C-alpha cells in the first residue's frame, strides 16, 4: 500500500509538471497572439491616418493644379502677353517707345547747429565778414 501511494503521488507530480508545462506554452502563445494583435491594430491605425493625410494632400494638389492651369490659360491670352511686353518696354512694329526721365530728388539743406551764443553769432555776421 505504501508503494501504491508513491506511485499515485509520482503520477500526480508528473501530471502537475505536464499541466504546468502546458500552461507555460499556452501563456506564451496567448501573449504572443495578444502582442501581435496590438501591433496590427497600431499599424492599421497608423496606415489609416497616413491614408487620410494622403487624401487631403491629393485634394490640395488637385486645387493647386487647377489654379496653375487657370493661370497658364490666362498667360496665353493676347492681353496678358501685351501687358507684360509693355512692362518690359517692348514695342510693336512701328511704335516708338518714349521713356520719361524724372529729376532725382535733392536733399533738403541741413540745419547747422551753432554752439556759440546768439549775441556772438550776430557780432560775427556784422563785424567779422
Per residue in 25-44, pLDDT (tens digit) is: 999 999 999 999 999 999 99
Indicate whether 116 belongs to any domain.
no
129 occurs within a structural domain: no
For the residues 98-126, what does the mean pLDDT come to? 77
Give the total number of structural domains in the chain: 1
Query: What is the mean pLDDT of the segment spanning 74-91?
Result: 87
| Residue 113 resides in a domain | no
57 within a domain of the structure (yes/no): yes
**Worst-scoring range by mean pLDDT, 68-72, 77-81, 103-107, 113-117?**
113-117
- Over residues 64-90, the mean pLDDT reads 91
Mean pLDDT across the stretch 99-119?
75
* Residue 1: per-residue pLDDT: 43
For the chain, give the secondary structure using H, E and C.
CHHHHHHHHHHHHHHHHHHHHHHHHHHHHHHHHHHHHHHHHHHHHHHHHHHHHHHHHHHHHHHHHHHHHHHHHHHCCHHHHHHHHHHCCCCCCCCCCCCCCCCCCCCCCCCCCCCCCHHHHHHHHHHCC
What integer is the mean pLDDT of 113-128?
80
- Domain assignment of residue 122, yes or no: no
User: Does residue 27 form part of some domain?
Assistant: yes
Does 58 map to a domain? yes
Distance CA 21, CA 28 (A): 11
What is the distance between the alpha carbons of residues 27 and 25, in angstroms, rounded to a whole number? Answer: 5
| 82 or 105, higher pLDDT | 82
97 with 89: CB under 8 angstroms? yes
pTM comes to 0.44
Residue 55 is assigned to a structural domain of this protein: yes
Query: What is the domain range of residue 67?
Result: 2-98
Amino acid at each position: 500500500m505504501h508503494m501504491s501511494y508513491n506511485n499515485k503521488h509520482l503520477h500526480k507530480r508528473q501530471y502537475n509538471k505536464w499541466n504546468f508545462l502546458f500552461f507555460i506554452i499556452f501563456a506564451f502563445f496567448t501573449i504572443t497572439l495578444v502582442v501581435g494583435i496590438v501591433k496590427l491594430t497600431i499599424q492599421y491605425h497608423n496606415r489609416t491616418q497616413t491614408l487620410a493625410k494622403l487624401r487631403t494632400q491629393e485634394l490640395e494638389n488637385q486645387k493647386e493644379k487647377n489654379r496653375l492651369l487657370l493661370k497658364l490659360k490666362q498667360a496665353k491670352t493676347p492681353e496678358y502677353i501685351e501687358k507684360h511686353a509693355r512692362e518690359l518696354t517692348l514695342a510693336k512694329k512701328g511704335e516708338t517707345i518714349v521713356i520719361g526721365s524724372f529729376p532725382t530728388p535733392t536733399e533738403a539743406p541741413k540745419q547747422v547747429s551753432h554752439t556759440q551764443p546768439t549775441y556772438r553769432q550776430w557780432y560775427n555776421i556784422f563785424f567779422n565778414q
